Amino acid sequence: MIAVTLTERPNVPVRIWVVGYAVQCVVHVVLVWAEFRRRRREEDGDEGGSRLSGQSSFARRCDSLNTMASFAWWILGFYLVISGGEVLLQDAPRLYWLTVVFLAFDVFFAIFCVGLACVIGIALCCCLPCIIAILYAVAGQEGASDADISMLPRYRYIEPCEDEEKVSVEGLMIPVTSNGGSSSHEGVLLKEDAECCICLTPYEDGVELHSLPCSHHFHSACIVKWLRINATCPLCKYNILKGNDCV
């Protein structure tokens, strides 16, 4: 294309930009080929592993520098196309469209990579609960009934006192009476332990908790949903139906 456009006289140095873009692409291909060759040698058990490792580190640094240079070069090309305007399109149409194609290709590749990462992240967030439910069903996990869950002791969490005269680092778990529930006693909970491991949020003052026979505690709303799917403690796998530590 450079040879074909020798007769074109652009008002901005887009020809130099195209040559620089091609050089960066060639450098990137060479670095990727060198890394691929190094990994093939390591898989084949070739000698000189330390020397190859040093070459790989140098190649990675060069590739990082080339990537940063490519980004700066793309900005320069975008500026040249904008500053050239209609004059560039009329005087050097082939160089103009070649530059635009290269710029658009880089933008498309960047958008594709970001979009693919977003799609994978959304798919994991949306499909993970379904996958977990399917795995539990396949594994034959047994959930607890509402009657079994109602037998677990419930508490009301009271935050530590933080007055100027009296500062406490311990919160209180006050038993909540319930019909058919097991008897429970007031408990003391350190502030750093006052967190639900299911939703990973600290306990707030007045929130309702459930305690399992293994002495682990959780938000009532969180553990009830969990136990309906799987009747085991999320931390130690204690089964509230079978009364053992096995799933």
Read off the pLDDT of residues 28-71 as tens digits, 9 standing for 90 and up: 888 888 878 877 877 776 555 555 555 566 777 787 787 888 88
> Quick check: is 132 in a domain?
no
Looking at residue 161, the DSSP 8-state letter turns out to be: P
Q: Model confidence at 247, in pLDDT bands (50, 70, 90)?
A: very low
User: From residue 13, how far is each of 83, 89, 92 by CA, in Å?
Assistant: 11, 13, 11
Q: Give the pLDDT confidence score for residue 245 in this predicted structure.
A: 53
> Quick check: is 138 in a domain?
no
Q: What is the pTM of this model?
A: 0.42
Q: How far is CA 182 from the centre of its chain?
A: 42
Residues 98 and 21 in one domain: yes
Query: How many angstroms separate the CA atoms of 28 and 166, rounded?
Result: 65
The total of other beta-carbon atoms located within 10 Å of residue 14's CB is 23
Q: Supply the range of the domain harboring residue 35.
A: 14-106
- The domain total for the chain is 2
